[in-house]
């Protein structure tokens, strides 16, 4: 990072922040800083105060230099004084006559007075503080919305420097300050308009809703300080909010209720920082059991002893706006949580069981859910092939994978590849977890059979440009989508083990291979693999037999990596993965572009092995080869790739 960007990053009041969505949790976590670094990182007030003081000193110095004249000359030295004494006496000064009334004699001084206005300095400091805050927020936000970092950082930073220079250096201050505000505001507003087009409406800035949220937050913070009501169930680690971004107060008048609220904060913070996608809580008579789903695997989240465990389920339901007194009927609700400046949506489901009340919370990373094609893990050649298939109109694109393989995320990334303002896009889904901005999401239950097919046909007759359907399994709907593919671009998600099986599955749903032979553009299959913890992963020398089967030599591969095989008894857990051994996940893909030769082979009903052989000759890489690429890069292990490929 350049020094200017590093200086800009230190000033950012938390309560004025926009809805920043930092990078995906799948990225490697940085090592824990030293004690001084943690003090600096954990105290934004310290950073902001020092930055503001530095800004005030800089502006004051510039303002002083701009308004102060040259310094008076020093007295002459002794030799000069002697020479002056030896010179003839000067003539007496002329006698001035009295000036007419209304005129004053000019004041002549040998030194220039310092002329600094405190009001002007304060205004300059406030303006500099706003520039620092907005620029710092921009440096974070460009990474959150995944836009052109260098371009927009330069635009906002350059407009800020130009604005400060105009405010300080223009001789007429009350002309220079408005000019500086205009220069900086132009760059900031341009970026705000650009980033608002990339994110969903709840994350827009400089809108009436955004200013309303800031007002409510300030008002609520003042209430929290002035009132001594029920204890907040959240502390500095987790902030729970409603869908309107107003913080939620967890009321707890009894000691055990307060303890339950602290336990909720603990396991939410632990789950989110570990990258969990699900939290399960089961209230048993003996204890409350907490479980996490981390990278597709179940991990313990710590048990809660009674009597605090008896209040956890009720508090969780209050967070989601559910009825805490209803313990038998199923309930569903939503809320949000902010952890370390990242916003997560929580989908809460509660129901009674014979063993006790059970609550399941799905955690949706709103930043990770905004992924685009170049962030999924696709290779450069695969991105080009997929984009060409998506650009074909009319055409059919098949995306496939087993359950929990990230298929919906890929489908949404494909939709973001289109211009959603000039194209009419309809997305059919069994349930809507994440909405793509400017896309018409329609919930369709395939259990309804012909009724669901009629619903899909009704929407496809509205002349959409792009149609997508997630998790297709009904033959009647497949027929409607095949008909739509004759005029529009259709994206279909299927459950299949590989690309060949996806073609077979789609042919079975259609009852014929003719629609595929006519409009199929590309077929994709994918898996999710866990990424090794960079701190505790273990290096080893690979088996020569494995290298031979992989067409590799010992000169090409020195070491590979795997999870740690041994742990010392009583040793401290890994600070990065908490002994989970993996941090985050990425996807591996098998992509087969369909050209006219491949369509002819599909239409003639040739053996799929011949089609696969043709694809391999055309350069298609299978899942094993894509997984091996990650293994050789040291990002995952051989066993993890084999586990992911075997998933069906």
pLDDT tens sequence across 212-224: 767 766 665 444 4
Angle formed at CA 613 by CA 612 and CA 616, multiple of 5 degrees? 85
Among 168, 203, 238, the domain-final residue is 203
The least confident of 96-105, 143-152, 289-298, 471-480 is: 96-105
The domain tally of the chain equals: 3
CA distance 333 to 318: 9
Specify whether 180 is located in the same domain as 245.
Answer: no
Same structural domain for residues 359 and 376? no
CA atoms within 13 A on the CB side of 254: 8
Tokens of 519: 């409009």
pLDDT score of 406 more than 60: yes
Distances (CA, A) of 300 to 303, 324, 465, 580: 8, 25, 46, 11
3-class DSSP assignment, residue 520: strand
509 and 461 within one domain? yes
Selection from 204, 256, 209 nearest residue 231 by Cα: 256
Phi (first) and psi of residue 556, to 5 degrees:
-80, -35
Helix/strand/coil for 240: strand
Instruction: State the average pLDDT for the chain.
Output: 79
Predicted local distance difference test score (pLDDT) of residue 312: 92
Same domain (yes/no): 531, 634:
yes
SS3 345: strand
Q: Which of these three, 187, 203, 219, is where a domain ends?
A: 203
If asked whether residues 160 and 272 sit together in one domain, one would say no
340: nearest Cα among 360, 316, 365: 365
Same domain assignment for residues 181 and 244 = no
Residue at 276 is within a domain: yes
DSSP 151-218: HHHHHHHHHHHHHHHHHHHSSSHHHHHHHHHHHHHHHHHHHHHHHHTTS-GGG--SSHHHHHHHHHHH
Say yes or no to pLDDT of 82 above 60.
no
Supply φ then ψ for residue 511, to 5 degrees. Answer: 75, 5
Residue 93 lies in a domain: no
DSSP-based three-state secondary structure for 633: coil
The mean pLDDT of 229-252, rounded to a whole number, is: 65
Element (H, E) at 344: strand 342-353
Residues 400-422, mean pLDDT to the nearest whole number: 92
For residue 568, pLDDT beyond 70: no
Beta strand pairing call for 356-365 and 395-400: unpaired
How far is it, in rounded angstroms, from Cα 455 to Cα 445? 10
Contacts of 266 (CB under 8 A, 6+ apart): 302
Joined tokens for residue 550: 């992989």
pLDDT band at 68 (very low <50, low <70, confident <90, very high): very low
| Residue, of 564 and 30, whose pLDDT is higher | 564
Average pLDDT over residues 275-300: 89
- For residues 519 and 396, the answer to whether their CB atoms sit within 8 Å is yes
Whether the model pTM is above 0.75:
no
Burial environment of residue 341 by CB neighbours within 10 A (0 to 12, 13 to 18, 19 or more): middle
Instruction: Give a yes or no: residue 410 inside a domain.
Output: yes
d(CA 96, CA 113): 26
pLDDT of residue 24: 36
Distance of alpha carbon 290 from alpha carbon 427, whole angstroms: 35
Domain annotation covers residue 108: no
Which whole-number Å values give the CA distances from 107 to 92, 104, 110, 340, 554, in the listed order?
20, 9, 10, 62, 90
Q: Give the whole-angstrom CA distance, residue 408 versus residue 587.
A: 12
Secondary structure element (H or E) that encloses residue 631, with its range: helix 623-632
We report the CATH number of the domain holding residue 310 as 3.30.450.90
- Average pLDDT of 423-427? 95
Same domain? For 393 and 357 the reply is no
Q: Are residues 244 and 199 in the same domain?
A: no
Tokens of residue 27, six digits: 């990225």
Give the model's confidence band at 200: pLDDT under 50 very low, under 70 low, under 90 confident, else very high: low
Terminal C-alpha separation, the chain:
44
- 3-class DSSP assignment, residue 427: strand
Q: Write down which residue in 345, 366, 387 finishes a domain.
A: 366
Question: Does 343 share its domain with 411?
Answer: no
Do 613 and 589 lie in a common domain?
yes
Range of the domain at 294: 229-366
- Spatial separation of the C-alpha atoms in residues 259 and 288, rounded to whole Å: 13
Which pLDDT band, with edges at 50, 70 and 90, does 242 fall under?
confident
Of the candidates 373, 444, 439, 465, the residue with the CA atom closest to the CA atom of residue 201: 439
Tokens, residue 199: 């994110």
CATH code of the domain containing 627:
3.40.50.300
Asked if residue 77 is part of any domain, the answer here is no
Establish if 426 belongs to a structural domain. yes
Whole-angstrom distance, CA of residue 28 vs CA of residue 635: 10
For residue 312, what are its two tokens? 């956890």
**Residue that has been written with the tokens 């990474």 in this structure:** 143
- Residue pair 523/503 in contact (Cβ under 8 Å)? The answer is yes
Q: What value does the mean pLDDT take over residues 623-643? A: 92
Is the confidence at residue 54, as pLDDT, over 70?
Answer: no
Q: Is residue 352 part of a domain?
A: yes
CA distance 264 to 24: 24
Q: In the beta sheet, which residues pair with residue 290?
A: 281
Q: What is the pLDDT of residue 69?
A: 46
Same domain, 639 and 515: yes
* Radius of gyration, CA atoms only, the chain: 33
* pLDDT score, position 59: 55
Compute the distance between CA of residue 45 and CA of residue 10 in angstroms, rounded to an integer: 10
- At residue 335 the predicted structure's pLDDT band, cuts being 50, 70 and 90, is very high
pLDDT of residue 569: 67
Cα separation, 242 vs 237, whole angstroms:
17
Rounded to whole angstroms, the Cα distance separating 348 from 335 reads 8
Pairing state between β 331-339 and 239-241: antiparallel
Strand partners for 568: none
- Alpha carbons 101 and 585: distance in angstroms, whole number: 88
Residue of 56, 363, 107, 391 whose CA lies nearest to 240: 363
List the structure tokens of 587.
């996807």
pLDDT, greater one: 246 or 484? 484
Instruction: Check whether 28 has a pLDDT greater than 70.
Output: no
* pLDDT tens digits, 509-554: 999 888 888 899 999 999 999 999 999 899 998 888 888 887 777 7
Same domain, 435 and 538: yes
């Amino acid at each position: 990072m350049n020094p200017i960007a590093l200086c800009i990053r230190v000033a950012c009041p938390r309560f004025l922040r926009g809805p920043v969505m930092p990078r995906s949790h799948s990225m490697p976590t940085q090592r824990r800083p030293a004690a001084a670094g943690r003090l600096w990182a954990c105290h934004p007030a310290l950073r902001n105060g020092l930055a503001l003081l530095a800004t005030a000193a800089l502006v004051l110095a510039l303002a002083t230099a701009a308004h102060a004249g040259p310094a008076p000359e020093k007295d002459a030295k002794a030799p000069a004084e002697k020479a002056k004494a030896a010179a003839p006496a000067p003539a007496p000064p002329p006698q001035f006559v009295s000036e007419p009334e209304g005129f004053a004699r000019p004041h002549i001084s040998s030194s220039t007075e310092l002329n600094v206005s405190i009001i002007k300095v304060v205004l300059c400091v406030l303006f500099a503080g706003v520039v620092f805050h907005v620029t710092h927020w921009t440096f974070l936000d460009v990474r959150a919305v995944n836009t052109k970092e260098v371009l927009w950082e330069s635009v906002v930073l350059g407009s800020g420097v130009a604005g400060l220079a105009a405010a300080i250096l223009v001789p007429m201050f009350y002309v220079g300050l408005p000019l500086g505000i205009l220069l900086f505001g132009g760059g900031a507003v341009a970026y705000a308009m650009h980033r608002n087009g990339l994110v969903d409406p709840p994350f827009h800035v400089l809108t009436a809703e955004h200013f309303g949220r800031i007002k409510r937050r300030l008002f609520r913070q003042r209430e929290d300080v002035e009132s001594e009501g029920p204890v907040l169930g959240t502390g500095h680690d987790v902030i729970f909010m409603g869908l309107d971004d107003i913080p939620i107060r967890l009321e707890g008048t009894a000691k055990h209720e307060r303890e339950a609220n602290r336990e909720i904060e603990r396991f939410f913070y632990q789950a989110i920082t570990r990258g969990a996608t699900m939290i399960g809580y089961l209230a048993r008579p003996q204890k409350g059991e907490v479980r996490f789903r981390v990278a597709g695997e179940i991990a313990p989240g710590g048990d809660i002893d009674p009597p605090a465990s008896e209040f956890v389920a009720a508090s969780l339901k209050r967070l989601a706006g559910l009825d805490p007194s209803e313990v038998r009927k199923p309930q569903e609700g939503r809320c949000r949580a902010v952890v370390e400046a990242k916003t997560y949506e929580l989908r809460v489901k509660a129901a009674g069981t014979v063993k006790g009340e059970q609550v399941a919370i799905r955690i949706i990373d709103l930043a990770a859910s905004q992924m685009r094609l170049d962030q999924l893990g696709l290779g450069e050649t695969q991105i080009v092939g997929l984009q060409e298939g998506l650009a074909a109109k009319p055409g059919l694109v098949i995306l496939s994978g087993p359950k929990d393989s990230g298929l919906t995320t890929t489908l949404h990334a494909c939709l973001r590849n289109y211009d959603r303002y000039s194209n009419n896009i309809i997305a059919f889904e069994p349930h809507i977890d994440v909405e793509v901005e400017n896309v018409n999401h329609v919930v369709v239950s395939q259990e309804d059979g012909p009724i669901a097919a009629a619903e899909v046909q009704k929407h496809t007759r509205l002349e959409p440009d792009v149609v997508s359907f997630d998790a297709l399994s009904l033959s009647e709907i497949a027929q409607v989508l095949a008909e739509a593919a004759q005029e529009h671009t259709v994206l279909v998600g299927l459950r299949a083990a590989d690309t060949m099986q996806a073609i077979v599955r789609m042919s079975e749903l259609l009852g014929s291979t003719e629609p595929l032979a006519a409009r199929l553009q590309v077929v994709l299959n994918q898996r999710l693999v866990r990424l090794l913890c960079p701190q505790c992963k273990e290096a080893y020398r690979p088996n020569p037999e494995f290298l031979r089967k992989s067409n590799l030599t010992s000169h090409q591969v020195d070491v590979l990596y795997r999870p740690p095989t041994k742990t010392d008894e009583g040793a401290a857990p890994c600070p990065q993965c908490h002994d989970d051994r993996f941090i985050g996940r990425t996807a591996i893909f098998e992509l087969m572009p369909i050209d006219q030769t491949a369509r002819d082979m599909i239409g003639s009903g040739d053996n799929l092995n011949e089609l696969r052989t043709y694809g391999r000759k055309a350069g298609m890489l299978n899942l094993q080869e894509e997984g091996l690429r990650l293994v050789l890069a040291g990002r995952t292990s051989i066993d993890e790739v084999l586990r992911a490929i075997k998933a069906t």
